[in-house]
């Protein structure tokens, strides 16, 4: 019998006879599924199916009001509740990621799709490190996680850390334009964390930009010795940029045994694990930067001694090393229960970051055991981020309750919203307008027993009262300072100090009065955040570079020009040989469409990185057109989606409104500045079935310098009425004749004085029964290749008044337009693969729904050598090509790495990306959902397991060095063209013996029941759905492997198709004799 949750109302306690558990059907005596041979019962569900359908939606529910007592609902609510507030038991020693911003791949893709990719994006302007936010989010939405990480690390070498700990509500998200809408700003921090961690799993090393002069050829000034003091985010950033510039002798001196500065020692692992910080340092070390640990400024060396040792420039980014302590706590120690944040957070960090502990042990430094509060209450003083880190860490060190006390009101809390929300969710008690006045010590134990506090609110000069808070420990988080001592002495000996004893730093250059000394991070006086420290390091690197070059009499640009992030992926060659005389620098081109309306636009596109472009189709002046308006509208195929990311567009635009002379002059100008080796320009021309017209257009384009011709015989609207476009392309004889006329005319004298033939491509229409036959006739006519496909004729947006959109004029008339975008991708892939299969090796330029590198790879695999793009640019802008380039380079590179062979494109295997923001795997054999009593049971068991572990997690091995190298050659574009074609064929060629069934992963399941519902009403009633746990289960013998369940499942990889155990025997209903 199914065990029921305690306290669940009787109305929800369904009897076992109403719940189908397939593995125990026989034991319980439930009627097994049967198929009667009686004709009269074939149209009715048998008892088994009726039982299985118990929880399936029914129309009757939509027609009647439901009456349930509130008491019943209240009890039921507790059963179905997701994620109750955590208890001290579940938090004790629990250093798992708790950030609400953390995203799975599913969440990352959905969130990235919301981004508007705004012009002059405020999010970028609000980021201290100036990360190109819209570009990296574009890459994520296109499943180019490498490209996203490349964009992030280009501007921020500690991009993983910042993605995890940045107070984004005050920075980038604070400027997000979507914050003006109901759905709110984009989760930029979560997206940055997701992308950089995905890249970390790829384990690809950083290299210096190969387009820059090699370090061997640089002046001797680049060999100057440079010292960076403190291995925190400021120094990691500074060292990275100096190494990217070409400096080869950079050393970071770090006081501690571990690296990372405050990011490691004072940010708890549930916000920032140590392996993330270590990985950022490894990326820096890839460029040759050295790190020396156990060396402290003011004790082991000084700024002056570094200069005497030959260091030409010094950067100091050691933070503020001394905690501020008020008079009430002078003389108290950790043994008594008093901690400063500088005491407590490093101890808590070591207890949750195994690699930090290991580093200290290797250096022979004793480590105090982490504090254990054993259920006692703890008081934290302060209202900044550090105070709230102390509060939530104290809970994980066994505190029963934590009080956060601060002098001002809630409006005076300096901590970011994200930190405060976590503390409140974890039941920290916040006490504003109070200050400590005295500490009470237990005479027997010598430890703190209470803290006296007094209200800061006064009436007529009188305090409103005081209180005594019982506690076992007090943590002071009143900030830090540069107190008198070795660090201050070392700095004051070489540079000017202000009246508070801090170095005087120019915030525009990070320089000091000593030309060779630069200061950043907290010590610089402006910075308060990790990302701001990284920005200081970047700025300092440039002006250190300027200073070092000035020493040798060399100059650098006035405006900083920092190299970006590069890896071996960026060296992958994307050039492709299409046909004789036509080689594309990369396979991405602009289609003959709105993005190529003018030659000035094509020029900008080439400058953005497009490998080729096809001019807007033009004809002879006698066929000149004037367009109507409105004429380009969003499609209806994506539902009520507004903004970018449209799945389709519909247009009734005709060919170019510009003259033949304009385009021929434009071709001359563009080819003068963009030779064929750099960019390919294809002239798109159109005429009726008239040999003279085609020959005149062809000769004019060829003589102007076009690298190839595209014959538009496929425009589905307007032009066909003039005997052009579709009117030619639907007639095989016309196609063959036109190709023959143009091919004969498309010749010119080459650079060597010999006559050369210019490649000709026929652009095919999908609005025909057999596109392969048209392609064959184009080839017979001498065309060097074909472009497939043009837009698909269609009609969209009929409103309730029977008016279409677009509609023109006072009569609101419309016409059938051309549908483009993702909606026609399946038709385009079918056309490309069919032509490739019928005409092996015949060059094809694909167009129709390509909007990413991953999709472009599909077209290459289908047989295309190049991909023309329009709708994706209409959704955004020309710069998307950079995402396509890096995405395709990454896909090709990853094919050369054996250790990445189980990745699906740039998606990690489910084992590596298993941690789901919704679901935590159950630590046992049985699987339970993650809500109500089951969630509490899982949390209790997890807490019991944590008590048994000396550390909450084993050291991670992400980004281990040396990085794996390619184990085989990186494929070229030509290598992958047509790779999928041999697997595409007729239905009867498919295996009738190898079948699969669905398998559901209960750890990833979110209990929505979509698989159960679609199987019931669209398939084979082969999935059960437990009334208590809402866990679906596949009945293997009934599953036919149709895959509908996987198709509607909202969680990536929750359902997979696995081989059937035994043969598939269809249920025929009435047996066939």
**Residues catalogued as catalytic:** 715
- Nearest Cα to 104, choosing from 30, 190, 34, 179? 190
β-pairing verdict for 322-323 and 480-481: antiparallel
* Alpha carbons 226 and 249: distance in angstroms, whole number: 6
Q: Is 1000 helix (H, G, I), strand (E, B) or coil?
A: strand
Identify the burial level of 829 via C-beta atoms within 10 angstroms of its C-beta, where 0-12 means exposed, 13-18 middle and 19 or more buried: buried
Cis peptide before 789 (omega within 30 of 0): yes
Both tokens of 93, joined, read 């020693």
Q: Report the length, in residues, of the chain.
A: 1073
The CA-atom distances, in angstroms, between 436 and each of 380, 392, 423, 442 are 11, 20, 21, 18
Question: Are the CB atoms for 886 and 144 separated by under 8 Å?
Answer: yes
- If phi > 0 it is left, if psi is from -120 to 50 it is alpha, else beta; for residue 581 that is left
CA angle, 847 as apex, 845 and 852 as ends, to 5°? 110
CA count, 13 A, side-chain hemisphere, 513: 11
| Tokens matching residue 1048 | 């509607």
Read off the tokens for 720. 């066909």
Q: Are 314 and 517 in contact (CB under 8 A)?
A: yes
Would you call 449 helix, strand, or coil by DSSP?
Answer: strand
What is the CB neighbour count within 10 angstroms for residue 975? 14
Q: Long-range contact list for 697-701, CB < 8 A, 24+ apart?
A: 697/618, 697/619, 697/620, 697/660, 698/741, 698/742, 698/745, 698/746, 698/760, 699/745, 699/746, 700/660, 700/664, 701/663, 701/664, 701/667
As beta bridge partners, residue 403 has 379, 429
Alpha helices in 564-659 (DSSP H): 599-608
Q: Name which of 671, 736, 733 is nearest 708 in CA terms.
A: 671
What lies within 8 Å, CB to CB, of 950 at 6+ separation is: none
Report CA-CA distances (Å) from 36 to 44, 47, 627.
Answer: 10, 12, 65
Residue environment code for 369-391, b if the CB has 16+ CB neighbours within 10 A, otherwise e: ebbebeebbbbbbbbbbbbbbbb
Residue 95's alpha-carbon distances to 272, 348, 424, in angstroms, are: 10, 10, 17
HEC readout, 168-201: CCCCCHHHCHHHHCCCCCCCHHHHHHHHHHHHHH
CA angle 839-841-844, nearest 5°? 80
Neighbours of 761 (CB within 10 A): 28
What does the alpha-carbon distance between residue 1020 and residue 214 come to, in Å, rounded to a whole number?
64
CA 520, CA 510: separation in Å to the nearest integer?
A: 6
Contact 420, 388 (CB under 8 A): yes
Strands 747-749 and 755-757: antiparallel
Q: Which residues make beta-bridge pairs with 633?
A: 650
């Amino acid at each position: 019998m199914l065990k029921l949750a305690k306290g669940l109302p009787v109305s929800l306690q369904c009897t076992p006879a109403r719940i189908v558990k397939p593995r125990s059907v026989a034991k319980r005596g439930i009627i097994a599924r049967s198929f009667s041979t009686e004709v009269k019962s074939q149209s009715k569900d048998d008892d088994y199916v009726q039982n299985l359908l118990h929880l399936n939606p029914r129309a009757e529910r939509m027609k009647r009001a439901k009456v349930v007592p509130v008491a019943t609902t209240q009890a039921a609510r507790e059963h179905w509740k997701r994620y109750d507030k955590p208890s001290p038991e579940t938090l004790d020693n629990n250093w798992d990621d708790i950030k609400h911003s953390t995203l799975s791949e599913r969440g990352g893709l959905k969130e990235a799709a919301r981004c508007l990719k705004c012009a002059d994006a405020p999010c970028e302007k609000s980021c201290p490190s100036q990360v190109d936010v819209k570009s990296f989010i574009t890459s994520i939405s296109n499943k180019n996680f490498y490209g996203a990480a490349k964009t992030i690390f280009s501007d921020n070498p500690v991009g993983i850390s910042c993605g995890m700990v940045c107070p984004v509500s005050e920075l980038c998200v604070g400027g997000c334009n979507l914050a003006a809408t109901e759905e709110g700003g984009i989760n930029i921090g979560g997206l940055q964390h997701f992308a950089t961690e995905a890249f970390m799993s790829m384990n690809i090393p950083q290299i210096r930009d190969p387009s820059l002069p090699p370090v061997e050829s640089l002046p001797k000034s680049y060999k100057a010795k440079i010292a960076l003091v403190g291995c925190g985010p400021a120094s990691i950033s500074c060292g990275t940029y100096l190494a990217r510039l070409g400096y080869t002798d950079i050393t970071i001196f770090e006081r501690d045994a571990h690296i990372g500065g405050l990011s490691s020692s004072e940010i708890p692992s549930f916000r920032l694990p140590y392996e993330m910080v270590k990985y950022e340092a490894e990326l820096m070390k890839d460029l040759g930067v050295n790190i020396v640990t156990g060396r402290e400024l003011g004790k082991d060396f000084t700024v002056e001694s570094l200069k005497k040792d030959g260091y030409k420039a010094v950067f100091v980014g050691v933070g503020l090393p001394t905690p501020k302590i008020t008079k009430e706590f002078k003389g108290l120690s950790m043994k008594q229960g008093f901690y400063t944040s500088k005491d407590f957070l490093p101890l808590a960090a070591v207890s949750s970051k195994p690699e930090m502990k290991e580093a200290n042990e290797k250096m022979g430094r004793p480590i105090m055991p982490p504090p254990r509060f054993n259920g006692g209450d703890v008081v934290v003083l302060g209202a900044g981020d550090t105070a709230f880190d102390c509060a939530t860490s104290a809970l994980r060190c066994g505190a029963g309750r934590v009080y956060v006390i601060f002098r001002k009101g809630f409006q005076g809390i300096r901590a970011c919203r994200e930190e405060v929300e976590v503390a409140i969710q974890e039941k920290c008690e916040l006490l504003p307008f109070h200050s400590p006045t005295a500490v009470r010590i237990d005479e027997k134990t010598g430890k703190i027993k209470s803290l006296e506090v007094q209200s800061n609110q006064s009436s007529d000069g009188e305090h409103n009262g005081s209180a005594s808070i019982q506690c076992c420990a007090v943590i002071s988080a009143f900030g830090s300072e540069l107190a008198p001592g070795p660090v201050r002495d070392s700095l004051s000996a070489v540079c000017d100090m202000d009246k508070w004893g801090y170095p005087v730093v120019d915030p525009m250059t990070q320089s000091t009065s000593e030309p060779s000394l630069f200061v950043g991070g907290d010590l610089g006086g402006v910075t308060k955040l990790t990302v701001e420290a990284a920005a200081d390091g970047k700025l300092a690197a440039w002006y250190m570079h300027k200073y070092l070059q000035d020493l040798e009499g060399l100059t650098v640009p006035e405006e900083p020009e920092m190299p970006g992030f590069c890896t071996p992926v960026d060296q992958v060659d994307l050039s492709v040989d299409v046909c004789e005389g036509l080689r594309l620098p990369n396979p991405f081109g602009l289609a003959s469409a709105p993005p190529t309306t003018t030659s000035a636009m094509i020029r900008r596109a080439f400058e953005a990185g497009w490998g080729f472009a096809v001019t807007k189709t033009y004809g002879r002046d006698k066929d000149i057109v004037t367009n109507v308006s409105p004429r380009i509208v969003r499609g209806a195929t994506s539902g009520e989606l507004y903004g970018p990311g449209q799945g389709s567009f519909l247009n009734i635009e005709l060919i170019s409104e510009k003259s033949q002379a304009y385009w021929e002059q434009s071709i001359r100008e563009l080819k003068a500045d963009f030779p064929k080796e750099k960019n390919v320009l294809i002239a798109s021309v159109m005429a009726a079935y008239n040999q003279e017209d085609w020959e005149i257009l062809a000769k004019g384009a060829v003589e102007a310098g076009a690298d190839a011709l595209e014959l538009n015989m496929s425009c589905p609207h307007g032009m066909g009425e003039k005997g052009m476009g579709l009117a030619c392309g639907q007639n095989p004889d016309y196609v063959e004749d036109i190709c023959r006329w143009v091919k004969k005319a498309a010749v010119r004298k080459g650079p060597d004085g010999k006559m050369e033939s210019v490649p000709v491509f026929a652009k095919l229409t999908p609005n025909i029964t057999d596109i392969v036959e048209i392609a064959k006739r184009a080839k017979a006519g001498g065309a060097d290749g074909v472009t497939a496909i043009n837009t698909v004729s269609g009609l969209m947006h009929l409103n309730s008044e029977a008016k279409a959109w677009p509609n023109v004029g006072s009569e609101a008339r419309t016409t059938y337009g051309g549908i483009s975008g993702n909606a026609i991708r399946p038709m385009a892939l079918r056309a490309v693969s069919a032509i490739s299969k019928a005409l092996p090796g015949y060059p094809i330029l694909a167009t129709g729904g390509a909007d990413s590198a991953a999709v472009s790879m599909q077209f290459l695999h289908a047989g295309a050598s190049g991909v023309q793009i329009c709708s994706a640019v209409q959704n955004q802008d020309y710069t998307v090509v950079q995402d396509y380039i890096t995405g395709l380079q990454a896909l090709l590179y990853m094919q050369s790495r054996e250790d990445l062979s189980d990745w699906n494109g740039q998606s990690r295997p489910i084992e590596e990306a298993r941690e789901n923001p919704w679901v935590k795997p159950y630590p046992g054999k049985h699987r339970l959902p993650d809500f109500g009593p089951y969630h509490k049971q899982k949390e209790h068991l997890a807490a019991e397991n944590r008590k048994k572990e000396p550390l909450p997690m084993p050291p991670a091995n992400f980004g281990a060095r040396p990085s794996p190298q390619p184990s085989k050659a990186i494929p070229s574009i030509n290598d992958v063209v047509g790779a999928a074609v041999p697997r595409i064929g007729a239905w009867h060629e498919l295996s009738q013996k190898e079948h699969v069934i669905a398998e559901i992963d209960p750890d990833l399941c979110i209990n929505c029941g979509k698989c159960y519902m679609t199987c019931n009403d669209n398939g084979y009633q082969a999935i059960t759905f437990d009334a208590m746990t809402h866990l679906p289960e596949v009945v293997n013998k009934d599953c036919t492997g149709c895959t509908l369940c996987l198709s509607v499942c909202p969680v990536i990889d929750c359902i997979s198709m696995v081989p059937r155990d035994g043969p598939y025997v269809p249920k025929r209903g009435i047996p066939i004799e």
